[in-house]
Amino acid sequence: MSEYLECVIVEHNPAKKTIDRAVIWLHGLGASGHDFEPVVPQLGLSDDMAVRFIFPHAPNRPVTINGGMVMPAWYDILEMSLERKVDIAQIEQSSQKIHDLISREIERGVAPEHIVIAGFSQGGAVAYHAALGYPERLAGLMTLSTYLATNDNISYSAANKDMPVLIEHGTHDPVVPVILGEQAQQLLSAKGYNVQYNTYPMAHQVCMPQIQNIGKWLNTVLA
């Protein structure tokens, strides 16, 4: 197994029980694992729940659309067209890194059906690939302000056909247009996935009503 990604770890465990739930949450382009760290206390998670949040840091790499500047990125974006020309091989490599983190949680005693994969923006594209192709049943997939970049490259896993999927997007997003969230929702719904799709009057960000809704969804899928 390759080296694990460096991660920020936040534990929600008011009852001081053995951790038996996990959320692996990927940040967006140019950000870090600290990006969503402050969100955890705002989710309103059940006090009975013992959850480890894993926020991995993306590796630094040149990003074509940013003039080749080196920054934290899960993959290279080659064109900012609506279709988003991206480096598929790098998405697959990043997805494998997330599978490695899932394996580490399983070794720590968290069953795969109690693990949620989540991602924002660029991290969401990797979350789609990692979760939809994972060979064992997961607790759920949560994608925020993102797009399904690798539909033609995912080996869709039969084990996760009934996995809950939460897709959330801002209606005023200038970075990832809301139509891309709608397309992912339509595509997965057509494949028979259990998709919940929500929009909020916001840009490329998260907002408090959304955070509260995410917390309710996590309380349900991790119950």
Which CATH number goes with the domain that contains 152? 3.40.50.1820
Is 1 domain-assigned? no
pLDDT score, position 80: 78
173 is catalytic: yes
Best CA proximity match to 36, nearest among 213, 211, 217, 223: 211
CA distance 167 to 46: 22
**Out of 35, 76, 87, 173, which one is annotated catalytic?**
173
**Out of 32, 46, 100, 204, which one is annotated catalytic?**
204
**Out of 121, 129, 145, 169, which one is annotated catalytic?**
121
- Residue 80 domain boundaries: 7-221
pLDDT score, position 105: 98
Best CA proximity match to 104, nearest among 5, 221, 12: 5
Residue numbers in the chain where pLDDT is lower than 70: 1-2
pLDDT score, position 79: 87
pLDDT score, position 2: 65
Q: Strand 7-12 relative to strand 51-56: parallel, antiparallel, unpaired?
A: antiparallel
Is 20 domain-assigned? yes
- Check: CB of residue 88 under 8 Å from CB of residue 150: yes
pLDDT score, position 84: 73
Number of domains in the chain: 1
152 is catalytic: no
204 is catalytic: yes
Is 199 domain-assigned? yes
Is 2 domain-assigned? no
Is 171 domain-assigned? yes
